[in-house]
């Protein structure tokens, strides 16, 4: 599903307005006397555009999806007040390990990103970086009403209202705050989606990358990172 939007109006609006000094193009004297141009965003980061990664076909993909559903590795990144609901999951009372859900400390090794509660613009930037560093297939669980319509921070100057305009969301868990049981139910729902092959939001993100990037850049004016954080 492709999303329509006015490309020209949004994309160039906030280009490089707050470029940090360390990311500016500079000229360096090489040891042999020649002058080299250094563009940190091109030279130090990978600027390649991500490609859509199609799922395999038939029984193989079904089997792999079953494995993915039974082994959900959650990124330990609490964005808002809802992150207080995540630690109880590893206690004897809730014990998420029974369901194959484990916490990982680094985005490179995790598949599930729980956006736990409100996202301020500053945190959104970090959330985007972490999400893009996760290997595909990846899933997002949006926890709490703040991610749906802004919740009690709907008129705040610094928190976003709708998460699905910035990152693709697989499962919403409503409530303020949802209890850990609701979070476990959310994991169950995510497992169902993965097993049915419907949790392909990572590809949707790449299909609509321009739309998402325009939305993100509209509010993150201090961008200072490559377009896609590999």
Partner 1 sequence: MDYSLSRFLYTLLGLFIVMNWGMLMSSTMRRIIARVSGRIGIPWYQPWIDLIKLYSLRSQITHGTMFYLGPVFRLMGGVGLFLFMPMIYGSAYFMNYSFSGDLILILYFQFFGMLGMALGAGEGGQPYSAIGISRGLSQFTTIEVPMTLAVISLAIQYDTLSITEIVKAQQGSIANWTLFTNPFATIAAMLSLLGAFGHSPFNLVKAPNEIPIGPPTEYHGTFLGVLRTNGAILHVTEAALFMNLFFGGATSWLELILKTFFIYFWSVFVGVVFPRFRIEQSVRWFLKWPTLIGIISILIWM
Partner 2 sequence: MKQLVEIIQNHFPINDIDLRKKSLAFISIHQNQAIPLLEWLKTTHGYKAFVLLTAVDWIEENRFQLTYLISNPDNFTELGVRVFIDREKAEMVSAHHLWKSIWVYQRELKEMFGINFPNSPRVNESFILEGWDTIPPYRRDFDTKQYSEETYFPRPGRSTNDPAKHMKSKLYPKD
Beta-carbon count within 10 A of 125 CB: 18
Asked if residue 156 binds partner 2 (CB under 8 A), the reply is yes
Contact 144, 176 (CB under 8 A): yes
Q: 219 near 121, Cβ under 8 Å? A: yes
Residues 126-155 that bind partner 2 (CB under 8 A): 148-150, 154-155
215, 11 Cβ separation under 8 angstroms: no
Q: Does 218 bind partner 2 (CB under 8 A)?
A: yes
129, 197, 222, 230: residue in contact with partner 2 (rule CB under 8 A): 222
CB nearer partner 2, residue 14 or residue 73: 14
Does position 47 bind partner 1 by CB under 8 A? no
Q: Does 104 bind partner 1 (CB under 8 A)?
A: yes
Is the CB of 134 or the CB of 160 nearer to partner 2?
160
What are the C-alpha distances in Å from 133 to residues 106, 199, 217, 222? 9, 18, 18, 19
With respect to partner 2, which residue has the nearer C-beta, 112 or 214?
214
Tell which residue, 86, 59, 111, 55, has the closest CA to residue 182: 86
Which residue, chain included where needed, has tokens 């042999």? 32
* Residues forming the site for partner 1 (CB under 8 A): 46, 50, 53, 55, 64, 67-68, 70-71, 90-92, 95, 97-98, 100, 102, 104-106, 108-109, 111, 135-137, 230
């Amino acid at each position: 599903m492709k999303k329509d939007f006015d490309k020209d109006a949004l994309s160039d609006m906030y280009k490089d307005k707050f470029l940090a000094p360390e990311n500016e193009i500079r000229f360096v004297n090489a040891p042999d006397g020649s002058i080299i141009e250094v563009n940190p965003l091109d030279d130090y980061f990978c600027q390649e555009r991500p490609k859509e990664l199609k799922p395999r076909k038939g029984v193989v993909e079904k089997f792999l999806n079953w494995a993915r559903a039974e082994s959900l590795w959650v990124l330990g990144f609490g964005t808002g007040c809802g992150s207080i609901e995540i630690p109880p999951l590893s206690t004897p009372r809730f014990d998420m390990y029974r369901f194959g859900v484990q916490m990982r400390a680094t985005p490179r090794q995790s598949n599930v990103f729980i956006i736990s509660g409100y996202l301020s613009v500053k945190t959104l930037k970090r959330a985007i970086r972490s999400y893009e560093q996760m290997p595909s297939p990846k899933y997002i669980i949006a926890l709490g009403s703040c991610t749906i319509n802004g919740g009690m921070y709907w008129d705040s100057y610094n928190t976003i209202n709708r998460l699905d305009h910035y990152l693709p969301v697989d499962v919403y868990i409503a409530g303020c705050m949802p209890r850990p049981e609701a979070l476990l139910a959310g994991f169950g729902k995510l497992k169902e989606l993965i097993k049915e092959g419907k949790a392909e939001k990572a590809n949707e993100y790449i299909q609509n990358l321009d739309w998402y990037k325009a939305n993100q850049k509209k509010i993150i004016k201090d961008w200072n990172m490559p377009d896609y954080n590999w």
